Structure 1
């Protein structure tokens, strides 16, 4: 194989991997619903951050603020997402209306 092609391919792998990692950074503000739990149970984010919930269960779930501090999600089927932005500092507790024992907290600093 031509050395230039090999060098170009290596550079793409090295530098492309860095770009992929940078693009994946917002995943830090993600909460996954697995095994009837919000994971992580508590997430701390800066003011202005968007948080994404993803349902990884086969059962539907909701994301509803315990104090009406943000709009509730629709029923999330498998792999559905719900996103909301937190523009004020505070502690936001939430739960699943279908399974009220499922609770979580977003702390905004």
Structure 2
């Protein structure tokens, strides 16, 4: 399910950014878009996990685009976010189309649920 919303609770964002381990299925993990980068840029999650990209910039819009699948978010303006649930194990590289030249890239690695 892909959604576009306003900025979520800051506590959830901080918790997601501080955890570097594999995230459990049915969890929501956040990736912050700031300083023309995805933070964290590499993330490993279990199948069934939802990843939420949050635009934390003050003036710049970004998007999230999976070129291998021709799938992506609309432009996200400050404090907006977009979600994607990853049900299948695999490697999912993505980038920001407006900022490709700045190497604004990331990758989600989805592992089977234990």
- Give the TM-score range, shorter chain: 0.7 to 0.9
Q: Which structure dedicates a bigger proportion of its chain to helix?
A: 1
Structure 2 unaligned spans of 5+: 1-10, 17-28
Shift of residue 24, structure 1, vs aligned partner: 4.0
Structure 1 unaligned spans of 5+: 1-22
User: C-alpha root-mean-square deviation of aligned residues, in Å?
Assistant: 1.8
**Number of equivalenced pairs:** 85
> What is aligned with 2:109?
107
> What is aligned with 2:72?
72
Larger Rg: 1
TM-score (norm 1): 0.72
Q: Which structure dedicates a bigger proportion of its chain to strand?
A: 2
Q: Which has the higher contact order (CA 8 A, sep 6+)?
A: 2
User: How many Å separate the matches in 1 of 2:95 and 2:76?
Assistant: 13
TM-score (norm 2): 0.69
Shift of residue 39, structure 1, vs aligned partner: 0.3
Deviating 4+ runs (over 6 angstroms): none
Shift of residue 68, structure 1, vs aligned partner: 1.1
